[in-house]
Amino acid sequence: MSVDLLTGYSYSEDPQTIVREAASGFTEDPGTILYFSPVSVFEKLTQAISLRFPNSRTYGVSTYYSFFEGRNNGNGYGPGTVIIGFGDSFDCSGGVIEDIKMHPVEFAPAIDKALHKVPEENTVCLTFTTAFYGAEELVLDTIASVIGNRDIHVAGSSSGNEKWERTTFVSYNGRVFSSASIFLFVHNRNGRIEVLKQDMFVPMRAEFRATSVDIRKHIIYELDGKPAAAELAKQLHFELYELNEHLHDYGLGRKVGKTLYTTDILKITREKGLEMLAAVYGGMKLCLLERGKYDKCLSNMVAGIRKKIPAPRFMLYVNCISLTTYYQNIGWMDIFTAGLGTLAPAFAGISGYGEQLDRVNINKTLMGIAFE
């Protein structure tokens, strides 16, 4: 096999055309294929990719938006599809975790089997989980229990939907799942792999303690013993009825040492609680966050990656759906993707309902995975 690393993209909504356009440079079947695609074409596209690459192991994720190398993909284009082929210079091994709502731990032996097929050094575990099942933390805990103390970062995304709807998918070797997680260990034979996250949201003065929560539904009912939505509105000097239109301008965060983990507020529930895109645990101390400088978030990502790997050959990005929609609304998407493209000759990315890093499910965060 002469395939090394390949990427391709398509804006088409026809599965056959997508494969033809996005895989036009794939002269041979890569060992492993990873693709990000809209929900509207995902199931038929999965079949088309499996037929086109019968000798490849395939992993797919639905997304709100895909990022492509060297292209400006704003200006009214749709979410698009990106296909990534890992070839000779990568060792890849993975699988699917089913029953994520209840017993993902039952798939620990399968994760362990995949783990032992790749070397420990210069390896990352990519993971992608269907959204709105409250299962990201369970999946991360399961993977972490298998990896143990090995020097392997876990990084990935919740899947997304181009219409902001709750139906999302992942796929594994031609099978499509609406409630599952896929995991993929990628070992880079040619150098290091580094993972970096960058926060755009910054702490305000207000702090709370979550005193009543539903962990599985990602709902905070009370902050400091008071109805959560009303307490948040009070701190932001809004009337409760005004809060909904401002939710995505703010977030809640928790600090672990010097690290900030951001959680996005999805909506106000009927009970005047706050539905979050990541779990918040009872007794957890939270700080109120506001949007910081979006251009600084990008420049810090570029500088941070260059400090770790001066000239990566490939970058894989995960950008929160709320950040992507904000950049679209202010007309900054072309500048953002052009900035991402300055780091490596090839890049691809996904924008879903959450970001995962090691054992933490987060939101409103830009994450970069650099391959030397």
Note whether 359 and 224 are same-domain residues.
no
Residues 225 and 282 in one domain: yes
Per-residue pLDDT, averaged over 28-55, amounts to: 97
**Amino acid, single-letter form, for residue 134:** G
Contact residues for 135 (Cβ-Cβ < 8 A; gap 6+): 100, 101, 104, 129, 179, 181
**Residue pointed to by tokens 């529930």:** 269
Q: What is the pTM of this model?
A: 0.94
89 and 178, same domain (yes or no) = yes
Q: What is the pLDDT of residue 1?
A: 42
Total domain count, the chain: 2
Task: Clarify whether residues 105 and 151 are in a common domain.
Answer: yes
Q: Sign of dihedral through CA atoms 92, 96, 101, 104?
A: negative
Which class for 310: exposed (0-12), middle (13-18), buried (19 or more C-beta within 10 A)?
A: exposed
Residues 130 and 184 in one domain: yes
Residue 255 structure tokens: 């600090």
Q: Are 242 and 266 in the same domain?
A: yes
Mean pLDDT of the chain: 94
Q: What digits encode the pLDDT tens for the residues 76-133? A: 567 899 999 999 999 999 999 998 988 899 999 999 999 999 999 999 999 999 999 9
pLDDT digits (tens, 9 = 90+) for 291-323: 999 999 999 999 999 999 999 999 999 999 999
Domain that holds residue 185: 5-197+295-371
pLDDT in tens, 207-263: 999 999 999 899 999 999 999 999 999 999 999 999 999 998 999 998 888 888 999
The per-residue DSSP string of 243-259 comes to GGGGGGGEEEEEEETTE
pLDDT tens digits for 145-170?
A: 999 999 999 999 999 999 999 999 99
What gap in Å lies between CA 371 and CA 308, rounded to an integer?
11
Q: Last residue of some domain: 271, 291, 311?
A: 291
Residues 19 and 126 in one domain: yes
Whether residue 245 sits in one domain with residue 233: yes
Task: Looking at the chain, list the stretches that DSSP marks H as alpha helix, in order from N- to C-terminal side.
Answer: 15-22, 39-52, 108-115, 136-147, 228-236, 294-308, 321-329, 333-340
Same domain? 329 vs 314:
yes
